[in-house]
Amino acid sequence: MKEHLLTVFLAITTAITIFTVAWIERPRDIAVFDFYDIVFEQQTMHGNLMITSDAYNELTLSFLNRKIAGQEITATAYATGNDAISFMALISNENVPFTTFALVSRDSSIHEMIVVETGFPIAHQTLAKTDATEGQDVFMVSSSDFTGGDVLIFGLDEDGNIIVEIEIE
């Protein structure tokens, strides 16, 4: 009887081992052509913020949540604005721990961005961040204090003059 139990135990453990090795070594799809170009990426302690551009030069702001098996896109915002300035707002929700405002500018005269929300006494500011694409500047402000309503965004030149004003209601 002991021999039968030992044989069954060895058969089960062998099957589990074979299944595990086959699952780990299974072929995976590898993208040959990447449809999206990463314009800017910012790591946070909750996940990554990423601005991407597709083949049609449309910009997307995404929040990637960290998972055990990698990262997963949990929220996305698409650009609004003209060709020189694109604006994106990713509002906090159950999957995104903070509200993010991003401005991508092809206008080199914009030096900094200031975000002011009604009812919030502090204005957030950011200078241009480096990006992967020449000729574009990325400005990004994130805060868990923002609600995403009644926001004024100012783009300033080096002298502090307002060049761009965006209002969100």
pLDDT digits (tens, 9 = 90+) for 80-94: 766 788 888 888 888
- For the chain, the maximum distance between any two Cα atoms, rounded to a whole number of angstroms, is 89
Instruction: Count the residues in the chain.
Output: 169
| pLDDT for the residue 59 | 87
For the record, the structure tokens of 12 come out as: 């089960």
- pLDDT over 60 (residue 29): no
- pLDDT over 60 (residue 31): no
| pLDDT for the residue 28 | 57
- pLDDT over 90 (residue 12): yes
Phi, psi (rounded to 5 degrees) for 15 = -65, -40
For the record, the structure tokens of 137 come out as: 């500047």
| pLDDT for the residue 26 | 61
Burial of 102 (0-12, 13-18, 19+ CB in 10 A): buried
| pLDDT for the residue 13 | 93
Amino acid residing at 139: F
Contact between 80 and 88 under an 8 Å Cβ cutoff? The reply is yes
pTM of the model: 0.71
Contact between 138 and 127 under an 8 Å Cβ cutoff? The reply is no
- Specify the CATH architecture of the domain 37-168: Sandwich (2.60)
For all residues of the chain together, what is the average pLDDT? 81
Residue 73: pLDDT band (50, 70, 90) is confident
